[in-house]
Amino acid sequence: MELRSDKITKGLERVPARALLYATGLSKEDLDKPFIGIASSFTDLIPGHVHMRPLERAIEKGIHAGGGVSFVFGIPGICDGIAMGHSGMHYSLVSRDLIADMIECVVSAHCLDGLVMLTNCDKITPGMLMACARLDIPGIVVTAGPMISGRYGKQKLSLVKDTFEAVGRRRKGEIDDKELSCLEMDACPGAGSCQGLYTANTMACVSEALGMSLPRCAASLAISAEKERIAYKSGQRVVDLVRKDITSRKIMTRKAFENAIMVDMALGGSTNSCLHIPAIANEAGVEVNLKLFDEISARTPHITSLQPGGEYLLEDLYYAGGIPAVMNRLQDDLYDCITVSGFNTKEIAKSAIINDDEVIRSKDAAYHKEGGIAVLYGNLSPDGAVIKQSAVSENMMQFTGKAKVFNSEEAAMNAIMDSMISKGMVVVIRYEGPRGGPGMREMLSPTAALVGLGLGESVALITDGRFSGGTQGPCVGHVSPEAMVGGPIALVEDGDEITIDIPGRTLNLNVSKEILTRRKEAWKPPKPKITHGVLSRYAKCVTSADKGAVLTAE
């Protein structure tokens, strides 16, 4: 079998390389085995990653058992929850593409034959998948698992509902300082990704549905022995993929991406998947656009009720049967694709057991007839905007209100906390897109504050930035084109009437063409907020949100 690693282990000219490999402790026999990289995002900074050391060891054992040689290398990560609401959030989306670049550099420079990607959180998982698709080598994703729920008396706690939204509840006077302190101490009881179907867990589910993780990986809990067994099996399995030359692009096909989107819509996942799935597909040479999300969502029922818009947590999904059980409900609609497990999609779906018909409903008893995401077009979003419709109440599916415009998240947040936002308003936050941000910051702090203040049923929010997977309510993000490039959102003024029509799939500014033309002629782009470092370079190269905010070479 010819291996990529032969470039550094075979031939007279490779004496220096072999000498350096022997210095790492390898034997001569090891040089004939597949070299498998373990891209690990272990860090002490992120709860979803602090428990990865035992998983690294489990993967190593699996690789050795499978006949390969393992090499752990580090990949950094950012915790969106910690970076939220301040300048740190500028760096979150930027890190996705940096992670892809770092993995490309390490794997290519060292001629690795296969890759196990140990990941868990929001931008790290898609960044790793982007790299694997770009490199087109055999690879498997091991997501490190969701956190268990916290407890406050008999009440289950989760990060978003019981900390971010609690800020607004405290400001409103619904809870006191003592209860707030208990919530912040107990909402996150230990290791794992945040408990609801926020972006981290959404991308874990997408990875499994795409065929890039072993069955049950996405929902198996961070604290579980099953997670270690999955890590071990993933190490074994990647060596087999190398020997059979099953590379990532053979798995990440157009049909596999459609399967992943369908599962995402059935779950009601984060709107961030509308950025990440197209970016991963782009690296795999597959075109995925916003219209595909809307088409699949329109024909896919929403069959789970997971936080933030619903009742259950990832631990409930796990005990109900995980992603295989969701696929079982959708099996008649899924394409039959190969996966890293060696079993095809249909085989996994048919063999799955559904343990709770309420957590994972049948299509006939779905929570909603359509999937989790809707894409809105109109004179305010000619290239599209995204909303998590499964997290919007029925009475807010159509809403018309007066615009209150802010040119930054901080300005909007200050107004919300100072009680300057009232019923019937549409909060507009602009110049927060991929270029304008730069980095397209998540807006969980203002959206959660609105809910906590009791305005989630009477105030809407639109932005050219994006939302956390934890956002609920009538919040429209990814408005494209963004304000920084002169998109219509840059022309909105205080008091303008805006109509959001989710069933009609429209987002319109109720201002005449003549007025908008005059405003456009008078508009001038503001100076960039940041003019140095990686954020400045990113702003010059990043594409629009409707294209996945991928980087170009220009």
Judgement on whether residues 180 and 195 belong to the same structural domain of the protein: no
On whether residue 214 sits in a domain, the answer given is: yes
In the predicted model, what is the mean pLDDT of residues 41-67?
98
Which of 468, 480, 512, 544 is labelled catalytic? Answer: 468
Task: Express as a percent the part of the chain with pLDDT over 90.
Answer: 94
Instruction: Please tell me whether residues 125 and 236 are part of one structural domain.
Output: yes
- In-domain check, residue 390: yes
pLDDT digits (tens, 9 = 90+) for 170-229: 988 999 999 999 999 999 999 999 999 999 999 999 999 999 999 999 999 999 999 999
- The C-alpha atoms of residue 155 and residue 98 are separated, in whole angstroms, by 40
Cβ(425)–Cβ(455) below 8 Å:
no
Q: How far is CA 396 from CA 41, 386, 473, 498, 503, in A?
A: 40, 15, 8, 13, 11
CB atoms within 10 A of CB 423: 10
Q: 530: buried, middle or exposed (CB in 10 Å: 19+, 13-18, 0-12)?
A: middle
Task: Quickly tell me which residue has 């109900």 as its tokens.
Answer: 320
As given in the structure block, the two tokens for residue 44 are 């002490």
The phi and psi torsions of 74 (rounded to 5 degrees) equal -90, 145
Do residue 95 and residue 238 come from a single domain? yes
17 is a domain residue: no
Tens digit of pLDDT for each residue in 375-433? 999 999 999 999 999 999 999 999 999 999 999 999 999 999 999 999 999 999 999 99
Could you tell me if 240 and 135 lie in one domain?
A: yes
Q: Are residues 489 and 408 in the same domain?
A: yes
pLDDT surpassing 70 at residue 554? no
- Report the pLDDT value the prediction gives residue 444, as an integer from 0 to 100: 85
Residue 5, in any domain of the structure: no
> What is the extent of the structural domain holding 435?
374-547
Each residue of 330-389: pLDDT tens digit?
A: 999 999 999 999 999 999 999 999 999 999 999 999 999 999 999 999 999 999 999 999
Asked, for residue 7, whether it belongs to a domain, the answer is no
246 alpha-carbon distance from chain centroid: 25
Distance CA 319, CA 314 (A): 9
The pLDDT tens digits for 218-258 are: 999 999 999 999 999 999 999 999 999 999 999 999 999 99
Q: Is 255 exposed, middle or buried (0-12, 13-18, 19+ CB in 10 A)?
A: middle
In a domain, 22, yes or no: no
520: domain CATH number is: 3.50.30.80
DSSP string across 289-314: -HHHHHHHHHHS-B---BTTTSSB-H
Average pLDDT of the chain? 96
Give the H or E element holding residue 73: strand 69-74
Buried b (16+ CB within 10 A) or exposed e, 111-142: ebbbbbbbbbbbbbbbbbbbbbbbbebbbbbb
Distances 161 to 150, 164, 166, 281 between C-alpha atoms, Å: 11, 6, 7, 32
pLDDT at residue 552 is higher than 70: yes
- For the chain, the domain total comes to 3
Kindly state whether residues 46 and 173 are assigned to the same domain: no
State whether 65 and 200 are in the same domain. Answer: yes
Specify whether 182 is located in the same domain as 92: no
Nearest to 310 by CA among 494, 98, 492, 160: 160
Q: Which of 349, 370, 358 is nearest to 317 (CA)?
A: 358
Q: Say yes or no: 210 and 331 in one domain.
A: yes
Cα–Cα distances in angstroms (integers) from residue 243 to residues 28, 247, 336, in the given order: 20, 10, 23
- DSSP bridge partners of 151: 156
Which residues lie closer than 8 Å to 410 by C-beta, 6 or more apart? none
Q: What is the 3-state secondary structure (H, E, C) of 203-215?
A: HHHHHHHHCCCCC
Please list the helix, strand and coil fractions of the chain in percent, rounded to the nearest 5, in that order.
45, 15, 40
pLDDT band for position 470 (50/70/90)?
Answer: confident
Is 498 within a domain? yes
Report if pTM > 0.85: yes
Rounded to a whole number of angstroms, the CA Rg of the chain reads 23
Place of tokens 């927060």: 432
pLDDT at 315 over 70: yes
Q: Do the strands 35-40 and 114-119 form a parallel or antiparallel pair, or are they unpaired?
A: parallel
Can you read off the two tokens belonging to residue 498?
A: 């805006």
Does residue 553 sit within a domain?
no
Domain closes at, from 351, 383, 399: 351
Alpha-carbon span 304 to 312, nearest angstrom: 8
- For the packed helices 290-299 and 273-283, what is the interaxial angle rounded to 10 degrees? 120
| Domain shared by 287 and 390, yes or no | no
Return binding residues for Mg(2+).
Answer: 80, 122-123, 442
Same domain, 225 and 345: yes
Q: What is the CATH number of the domain that holds 340?
A: 3.40.50.2300
Last residue of a domain, one of 128, 160, 188: 188
b/e burial code for range 44-81 (CB count within 10 A of at least 16 → b): eebbbbbbbeebbbbbbbbbbebebbbbbeebebbbbb
Return the structure tokens found at 444.
């969980």
What is the band of 277 on the pLDDT scale with cuts at 50, 70, 90?
very high
pLDDT(16) > 80: yes
- pLDDT range class, residue 469, cuts 50, 70, 90: confident
Same domain assignment for residues 417 and 296 = no
| Averaged pLDDT for residues 124-128 | 98
Cα gap 81→95, rounded to integer Å: 15
Pairing state between β 506-509 and 497-501: antiparallel
List Cβ neighbours of 417 (8 Å cut-off, separation of 6 or more): 171, 449
pLDDT on residue 311: 94
What's the confidence (pLDDT) of residue 553?
73
Known catalytic residue at 468: yes
How many helices (H) does the chain have, and how many strands (E)?
A: 22, 14
Percent of the chain with pLDDT over 70: 100
pLDDT tier, 275 (very low <50, low <70, confident <90, very high otherwise): very high
| Confidence (pLDDT) at 468 | 83
What pLDDT sits at residue 471? 84
* Token pair recorded at residue 310: 């619903």
- C-alpha pair distances (Å), 203 with each of 11, 200, 286, 552: 42, 5, 18, 23
